Amino acid sequence: MAIIIALIPALAWGSIGLVSAKLGGNAYQQTLGMTLGALVFGIGTWLIAQPAMDAKVWALGILSGLFWALGQSQQFQTMKYIGVSMTVPMSTGMQLVANTLAGALLFHEWQSGKDVSMGLLALLFLVLGAVLTSRKEKAAAGEGQTKLAQGLRTLIFSTAGYAGYTIVVNAGHLDATAVVLPQAVGMVVGALLFAIGHDAFNKETGKNVLTGLLWGTGNVFMLMAMAQVGLAIAYSMSQMGIVISTFGAIFLLGERKTHKEMTWIAWGSILIIAGGVVLGMMK
């Protein structure tokens, strides 16, 4: 049951890039709309679950939400530079390295030699899969090279934000239902700060509330999975949504790939699924 819970975020989060691309808007409008949807989800979760929320939950939850706003806004920005099908695999690989190593090294989630060997094998599968799905047959030139460089720079900030978002919650041992609302408040505050001067309040912002509801669903189940199987496994399995994002961008958004690139994507997806299976076997 814990593994099923850990896979739900992959389905929800893997759809976000596709849905936001269809809804439109710039990166700041998409991020703000998404955070408003997450706030609606957070309020609903609080009304239903009525969790105990003390000062620690509010402080760490808001801090986690601020980190997330940085991570998501920069990921949306990267999608504008290099597309969904390339952004998501690259972002996934970077996040997996950061969060899996944090779980293993900072929180000592790998207790035995078997845990270490299987964890490293899973991480290898996942990162190689991410590399293959983002590989390009021809090197970018001119404007394409500039956009790729811009995309890589924004992804570094995005990865730092996403890593902070999960590490803060895990370090504080926060209850999944209690932290959702404070997180959402931090997300909205962060999104508003990033949106200053970027025409953030319009109909596209309102449309992207839907992506916030998707994110909120994935977030609750990811936090529940973290409590059951740890950060390293829960976060890694949540990133299997890369398969949905990558193939969805190609077939639904019309992002072009060559025959060779499609082959790399297919093998990359197989490796990502294999990594998820290894992580599941660890528990």
Break the chain into its structural domains and give their ranges. 2-282
Average pLDDT value for residue range 220-242:
79
Q: Is the pLDDT of residue 140 over 60?
A: no
- pLDDT band of 283, cuts 50, 70, 90: low
- Residue range 188-219, pLDDT digits in tens: 999 999 888 888 788 889 999 999 889 888 88
Instruction: List the one residue out of 82, 168, 97, 162 whose CA is nearest residue 129.
Output: 97
- pLDDT band of 43, cuts 50, 70, 90: very high
Integer-rounded Cα Rg, in Å, for the chain is 18
Q: Which of 32-46, 61-75, 220-234 bottoms out in mean pLDDT, i.e. has the lowest?
A: 220-234
- Backbone region of residue 173 per phi and psi (left: phi > 0; alpha: psi in -120 to 50; beta: other values): left
Instruction: List the one residue out of 188, 205, 170, 235 whose CA is nearest residue 41.
Output: 188
Q: Tell me the C-alpha distance between 254 and 79, whole Å.
A: 14
- At residue 115, the pLDDT reads 85
Helices (H), the chain: 2-14, 16-23, 27-49, 55-82, 84-101, 113-134, 143-172, 176-195, 203-207, 209-229, 231-238, 242-251, 259-282
- At residue 142, the pLDDT reads 64
Q: Is the pLDDT of residue 268 over 90?
A: no
Q: Which of 40-54, 78-92, 147-161 bottoms out in mean pLDDT, i.e. has the lowest?
A: 78-92
Residue 159 neighbours by CB distance under 10 Å = 24
Average pLDDT value for residue range 232-250:
80
Specify the higher pLDDT residue, 208 or 126: 208
Q: Tell me the C-alpha distance between 26 and 90, whole Å.
A: 20
Instruction: List the one residue out of 132, 131, 194, 126 whose CA is nearest residue 161.
Output: 194
Q: Is the pLDDT of residue 282 over 80?
A: no
Q: Which of 139-143, 240-244, 268-272 bottoms out in mean pLDDT, i.e. has the lowest?
A: 139-143
Q: Tell me the C-alpha distance between 7 and 240, whole Å.
A: 8
Give me the percent of the chain exceeding a pLDDT of 70: 96
